[in-house]
Amino acid sequence: MAIAGHAEPLPSSLTLGARVHSWVVSVDHKRLGMMYVGFGLLFFLVAGLEAAAMRAQLARAGSQLIDPTTFNQLFTMHGTTMVFLVGMPILLGMANYLVPLMIGARDMAFPRLNAFGLWLFIFGALLLYYSYIGAQGLYGTSAAPDVGWFAYAPLTSRTYSPGNSTDYWILGIMVSGFGSITTAINLIATILVMRCPGMTLLRMPLFPWMMLVTSVLVLIAVPVLTGAQAMLLLDRSFGAHFFDTEQGGSAVLWQHLFWFFGHPEVYILVLPAFGFLNEIVPVFSRKVVFGYSLMVAATVAIGFISLGVWAHHMFALGLSPEMNSFFAASTFLIAVPTGIKIFTWLGTMIGGRIEFATPMLFATGFLAMFTFGGLTGIMLAVVPFDWQLSDSYFVVAHFHYVLFGGTVFGIFGAIFYWFPKATGRMLSERLGRWFFWILFLGFNLTFLPMHVSGILGMPRRIYTFQPDRGLDLWNLLSTAGVALQAAALLLFLWNVVHSLLRGKPAGNNPWNAWTLEWATSSPPPDWNFDRIPTVGSARPLWDVANPHDPDPSPEAHG
């Protein structure tokens, strides 16, 4: 096929230094994407270790394994890392890798800006973690940030947060936030400008569509966090009073600004994973995606509504009844387009010839777990229910079902799906299935009991709990689940290393998929396509394989 490309292997005479140098100076969207994902996975391990340390401490009541100060740092760094240094870079990195290939382009719209964004992210991440060595803590010791990932005022004021660990938190996140913004701008420009001939917006694969909406949310939400962090920095460094209640400032303002960013951020983290599902589910059901335009419309609706629900994180604050009712109602409303998506995926699966390869296992796992987390989310949108369970382990369980059972499962599905494209080798299916099932069990063993401990009244972010409150068993189960998850991740790492060296060669299109990234070689050449492809429908490779039965794309029938 003419649109295929042929990768030339790197001359093996290159020294290690030259290879590293070629990655560092690269502006190729594929290499940058892989570096994003690589760093994201590295920080995933770090955040996982932090979580494991907390679960070890909470394995039994009254444990003395970890002192309260360290525990505070652990949950702060775990949350911050997972959101900003794992979710964002992996999802933006996958988009970096995939979007140009999927729309038949040779690179992103602004390749150098792309490299700039990656290195900003890495610099921000290092700045945050440097606090473990360099930040001055309470007693002259070094200290990581310990104010929680949403860093409420007045805890972040100079009085309650002396030293400069909080400043590292502010600056690290701010810098990596600039990186996210540049990448979002780049993605929007790429998607709008670089589509190959024939690819109208409604012939685009759904993943770029999800990334378009995600990127717009990044443009709107992240700057508000940046602004709020700038205010906090002014408060801490120059004696400003934004969040200083003694001088008439407002701690509530921080909450509003933070969650105006924080809630869309949840959708920034989950919409790309929806995008992975939109590619994986049709291919492994051997069916065209059910309700393409409905999916696009629901995504745009989610994007809009997600900007107007933030105060559901603040019900416990005592806002006015009108405010509470408004934000409860808007939160119920966002469940509608989200539900539509769930049903579109089910509609795609129904009547399909479903093939449970590892990517599809993760996709179905995502569906089940995300729906479950969504339902507890609707429960928490009921104001009195939230009053009862706010800041308890029930909430921790809820958002881990959404972000781990949802986003992280989606990411692993995507890694299994696109690994062959990026490396030219298949990941082991056998190990992949084991990985999925062990992770699935471990995940549920960890987080299902947290619903119970939360309902029994166990508050989050406290380093220990008392015996004889009926919490012991549930906490022990949660900790046991972590061991399973760790085992699963070791299996995954082994799978990656083993498959990179010995994996089955993938060929251009191992899954018989229909989108353009599968038209070129695996891995694709630096220039992606020898000839820029031309498409006549939303499934160009279907058209190539079935010239007499072309894909009925939306426009073809009006």
Contact residues for another protein (CB under 8 A)? Answer: 1-3, 109-110, 181, 184-185, 188-189, 192-195, 197-201, 219-224, 226-228, 230-231, 234, 238-242, 247-250, 253, 257, 533-534, 536, 543-544, 547, 550, 555-556
The smaller minimum CB distance to another protein, of residues 473 and 556, is found at 556
Binding segment for Cu ion among 64-72, 262-270, 339-347, 422-430 (CB under 5 A)? 262-270
Identity of the residue, 32 or 268, whose beta carbon is nearer to Cu ion in the bound complex? 268
Q: Least distance from C-beta 90 to another protein, angstroms?
A: 22
Check residue 539 for interaction with Cu ion (CB under 5 A).
no
DSSP, res 309: -
What is the total count of residues that contact Cu ion (CB under 5 A)?
1
Quote the least distance from Cβ 291 to another protein, whole Å: 22
**Per-residue binder mask for Cu ion (CB under 5 A), 220-259, x = binder:** ----------------------------------------
- Which residues have C-beta within 8 Å of that of residue 399, sequence separation ≥ 6? 266, 373
247 binds, among Cu ion, another protein, none (CB under 5 to 8 A by kind): another protein
Alpha-carbon 43 to chain mean position: 13
Least separation, in Å, of the C-beta of 97 and another protein? 20
Among residues 411 and 535, whose Cβ is nearest to another protein?
A: 535
Q: CB of 259: closest distance to Cu ion in angstroms? A: 7
The three-class DSSP label of residue 511 is coil
234 binds, among Cu ion, another protein, none (CB under 5 to 8 A by kind): another protein
| Angle of CA points 379, 264, 168, to nearest 5° | 110
Residue 184: name its binding partner from Cu ion, another protein, none (Cβ under 5 to 8 Å by kind). another protein
What the block records as the tokens of 286 is 């051997």
263 near Cu ion, judged by CB under 5 A: yes
For the CB of residue 65, give the shortest distance to Cu ion in the complex, in Å. Answer: 32
What are the b/e assignments for 202-216, b being 16+ CB within 10 Å? Answer: ebbbbbbbbbbbbbb
Q: Are 197 and 534 in contact (CB under 8 A)?
A: yes
- Toward another protein, which CB reaches closer, 22 or 245? 245
Query: Residue 476 binds which one of another protein, Cu ion, none, with CB within 5 to 8 A depending on kind?
Result: none
DSSP structure class, residue 82: I
With tokens 């780049």, the residue in question is: 186
d(CA 211, CA 330): 23
- Cβ nearer to another protein, comparing 249 with 374: 249
Nearest distance from C-beta of residue 259 to another protein, angstroms: 13
To Cu ion, the closest distance from the beta carbon of 85 in angstroms equals 20
- Report the partner that residue 263 touches, choosing among Cu ion, another protein, none (CB closer than 5 to 8 A by kind): Cu ion
Contacts of 514 (CB under 8 A, 6+ apart): 282, 283, 539, 540, 541, 542, 551
Specify whether the CB–CB gap between 495 and 72 falls below 8 A: no
Tell me the C-alpha distance between 53 and 463, whole Å.
11
Task: Give the residue with the Cβ less far from another protein, 231 or 486.
Answer: 231
CA angle 479, 480, 486 (to 5 degrees): 90
Is the preceding omega at residue 524 within 30 degrees of 0, hence cis?
no
Which residues have CB under 8 Å from 430's CB, separation 6+?
none
Distances (CA, A) of 512 to 33, 205, 277, 547: 23, 15, 16, 16
Rounded to a whole number of angstroms, the minimum distance from the CB of residue 516 to another protein is 11
Which of 144, 174, 146 has the alpha carbon at shortest distance from 160? Answer: 146
**195 binds Cu ion per the rule CB under 5 A:** no
What is the rounded end-to-end Cα distance, in angstroms, of the chain?
29
Q: Is 398 in the site for Cu ion (CB under 5 A)?
A: no
Binding residues for Cu ion, rule: CB under 5 A, are 263
